[in-house]
Structure 1
Amino acid sequence: MLSDFFPSRTLTLYLAKLFVTRILAVLVMLVLVLQMLDLLGESGAILAKPGNGEAQLWTYVTLRVPQLVARFLPYSVLLATLLTFWPLNQNSEIISMRAAGLSAHQVLAPMLLTALVVALLSFAFNERVVTRATATLKAWQAAEYGAIPKQGGARANVYLRDGDNILMAASLSGRGPAMEMTNVTWYRRDAGSIVQGQIRAPRATYAAPGWKLENAVEFDVQGARSKSLGTVILAKGVTPEQIAISKVDPDAENIFELGRSISALKAAGRRTSELEGKWWHKISGPLSALLMPLLGSVAAFGLARSGQLLIRGVIGMALGFLYFVIDNAALAIGNFGGYPPLIAAWSPFFLFALLGETVLVRTEE
């Protein structure tokens, strides 16, 4: 029954092969151009760190490329859809398929199946590669492109309250009692939140209780003088459990880690609607690739000699890019509490799925 929805095996493989090659070509082109532009902007900051050289530039590329692939894969599927349908229509291959008795849905079926496979691969790639690369890159940037944290669970710009005082760290790595902070600053404040002094240290580890700051230097604001303290233990009210829920970066955690973080925040009575929206979007985001053949199919049908092929292509591209605009807007509104997280993450997907199917059915008629 399902096989009746697809054209012949030969035609299915032919369309799928055309589609896959164009997806890869467009994706490689976009990633190469954007990576070169991004590297031009960041190379100065990377090379400004003493000891950095070509190896660090390649490290940055390996960490940045997965982010670019994840972000622009749906765009690549959209452009590949248009680049596949346009020649097929221009060369009257679509007309031949329709004359052979294939419906518009049957012509589109191989590309929808290919897009579904791409969406599944994208989801796996995001969860296994992109989240780790994002966490490492953010921690490296927080360290001003110095030494890359070797432990897992890397985070950047950690901000914690210790009573009236503040504990800040440029980066944090590890989990539980094995947590380690770098570029640490402890601000001593009075009851009016006025800073009385600060203690800085390049490294801090958990001392159970408190945090052991090594090679610490104290600066007294009132006396405008500094002195070396060696090793001190501060912030005894700050625990690794508090740090675990103090700052959750959904882009740097996979779907299972983010789920556990959301549960921990809920147990602590924190607001989690933004993180829940990002959790659902980890699924709906990669599935947007499935929409692109449907939205771009407007360029496939209709007579090429009517002179409207260019207009149809522009309409297909506009529908695809409009989806991304509305998807980002819905997610932003959901972050502010305007939509429930489930609605914010999935409503654009189903809205444009219905829109694309309406266009396709209209074309069929």
Structure 2
Amino acid sequence: MKQFFPSTLSRYLARIYTVNFCGLLLVLLGIIYLFDTVELLRRGTKHEDISLFLIFQMGLYKLPEVGQMVLPFAVLFSAILTFWHLTRRHELVVVRAAGLSVWQFLGPIIGVGLLIGVLQITVINPLGALSLARFESLESSYLKRQESLVSLSQQGLWLRQSTEGDGYVILHASGVKMPEWVLQNTISLFFSNQDTFLRRIDAKEAVLAPGEWKFRHATVNAPHNLPEEADLISLATNLTAQEIEDSFASAETIPFWRLRAFISTMEATGFNATSLKIHFQRLLAQPLMFAAMILLAASVSLRPPRLRGTAMLVIIGVVIGFIVFFISSFLQALGASGQLPPVLAAWSPPAICFLLGVGAMMTLEDG
């Protein structure tokens, strides 16, 4: 029985594309690492306690996440390079002379693209999230010198900030009423810099006002003192609502396998998880996006070298890649603002590109 995808040819095409993809990706990652390291060196010169080794280490921690941003371009450009080489060496002419359709030799390459997408979801993204979290921790400690820490868990919101004078406070809230930014059922624990417990404030709610927290209907408990009731207690802070949201809602630092649980935690606590939902759906759509990139690359690259305008078609393919990127960003912004459902915002770009690629190949190859 004749195979639709001949095994020998499929392995050959898949191997050529994989080699081109890996080589191009390494070049792109090298360039990105060089520029990121230079920027970190520039920022590190302001702080004497940052070593050169730490700068290189931070650049490596940041690389996997930044590398995921260039994966669609690497898939597109390596496909263009692969098809150009096959066309230039007349190997595709031989394949077609053997009676194989364009779909039979595109299949193995599209299969590699799908596999790359699955690997990004299951392996690359979780590793990139962990390394980016480590990078942000080092950046916060050595470059930004931030003292405020925020964490979100199933138990609610946890926040740590410095207090006026000598010490810090750890604040916990079971929930947050948005968009007023009213923390509910708060517990605030005050410590000295020597980690000596100073006092505790329990309040039904705490409101984040410009430059201060306002605790309403609070009870103050201090060692060796009786509890004291207060209608309003103020605590100075340099935090803003945007800074708190940015500190824990970075989708890139959350591994794919934990995204759904974190989304549920955010919604249960009272925060808007739309951006995380879009990020989750976008990751699921990556295999389809990579397949679409390969089809678009084929539609502009599978031309006999004697035909005029081949170089222009390749340039058009490169432009298509950037157009896809900006369209994706635009639709994601519409989704984040609530004008599009998260599923539609994430899946529309790859679906549209895939259909355009299939349509272009049917027009060019099947008449």
The residue that corresponds to 1:266 in the other structure is: 267
Q: Percent identity?
A: 22
Alpha carbons of structure 1 residues 356 and 38: separation in structure 2 relative to 1, 3 Å:
same
CA contact (8 A) 1:140 1:146 kept: no
2:73 maps to: 75
CA contact (8 A) 1:74 1:292 kept: yes
**Per-residue deviation at 1:12?**
1.2
TM superposition score normalised by structure 2 = 0.75
Distance in 1 (CA, whole Å) between partners of 2:187 and 2:27 is: 52
Does residue 185 in structure 1 map to residue 186 in structure 2? Answer: no
Q: Which runs of structure 2 are paired with 1:272-287 in the superposition (5 Å)?
A: 272-285=273-286, 287=288
CA contact (8 A) 2:58 2:138 kept: no
Q: Give the equivalent residue in structure 1 for 2:231.
A: none
Question: Residue by residue, what CA displacement relative to the aligned partner does 1:61-80 show, whole Å, maximum 9, x if unpaired?
Answer: 22111112211122111110
Q: Is the Cα–Cα contact under 8 Å of residues 205 and 213 in structure 1 kept in the other structure?
A: no
Kept in 1, the 8 Å contact 2:80–2:297? The answer is yes
**Contact 2:300 2:317 (8 Å CA) reproduced:** yes
**Residue 286 of structure 1: how far off its partner (Å):** 5.3
Q: Within 1, Cα distance between the matches of 2:204 and 2:123? A: 35
Please give the alpha-carbon distance, in whole angstroms, between the structure 2 residues aligned to 1:246 and 1:306.
54
Using the alignment, how far apart are the partners of 2:324 and 2:330 within structure 1?
10
1:215·1:231 contact (CA, 8 Å) conserved in 2?
no
Match of 2:221 in 1: none
Matched, 1:4 2:7: no
Q: Specify the alignment match of 2:109 in structure 1.
A: 111
Counterpart residue number, 2:133: 135
> Paired residue for 1:170?
148
Residue number in structure 1 paired with 2:294: 293
| Contact 1:209-1:236 within 8 A present in 2 as well | yes
Q: What secondary structure, in the 3-state scheme, does the structure 2 residue paired with 1:305 have? A: coil
Which residue in 1 is equivalent to 2:179? none
Unaligned residue ranges in structure 2 (runs of 5+):
173-185, 206-243
Partner of 1:166: none
Q: Is the 8 A contact 1:39 1:61 kept in 2?
A: yes
Aligned to 1:63: 61
Aligned to 2:148, the other structure's residue is in SS state strand
How far does the alpha carbon of each residue in 1:81-138 deviate from its partner, in whole angstroms, 9 at most, with x for none? 1111112112222122111111111121110011111111111234321111122222
Partner in structure 1 of residue 189 of structure 2 = 211
**1:334 matched to which residue of 2?**
335
Whether contact under 8 Å (1:23, 1:80) holds in the other structure is yes
- Residue type of the alignment partner of 1:9: S
The secondary structure found in structure 2 opposite 1:212 is: strand
Distance in 2, Cα, partners of 1:215 & 1:315:
60
- Hey, what does 1:38 align to over in structure 2? 36
Q: Is the 8 A contact 1:204 1:214 kept in 2?
A: no
Residue 306 of structure 1 aligns to a residue whose secondary structure is coil
Aligned-pair distance for 1:271?
Answer: 3.1
- Does the 8 Å contact 2:259/2:280 carry over to 1? yes
Q: Tell me, which stretches of 5 or more residues in structure 1 are unaligned?
A: 148-156, 158-168, 187-197, 217-228
Normalising to structure 1: TM-score of the pair? Answer: 0.76
- Which residue pairs with 1:232 in the alignment? 198
Q: Secondary structure at the match of 2:136?
A: helix
Q: Matched residues in 2 for 1:23 and 1:64: separation?
A: 21
C-alpha contact (below 8 Å) 1:212/1:232 kept by paired residues: yes
Are positions 1:22 and 2:23 aligned together?
no
Cα 1:285–1:46 change in 2 (3 A) is farther
Cα deviation 1:216-273 (Å, max 9, x = unaligned): 8xxxxxxxxxxxx97534564599xxx9999432111123432122223333454332
Instruction: State how far apart, in whole Å, the 1-side matches of 2:331 and 2:165 are.
Output: 43
CA–CA distance in structure 2, aligned partners of residues 95 and 171 of structure 1: 61
Q: Once superposed, what is the RMSD of the aligned Cα atoms?
A: 3.4
* Structure 2 letter corresponding to 1:111: I
SS at match of 1:143: helix
Q: In structure 1, what is the Cα distance between the partners aligned to 2:88 and 2:38?
A: 39
- Aligned equivalents of 1:181 and 1:265: distance in 2? 15
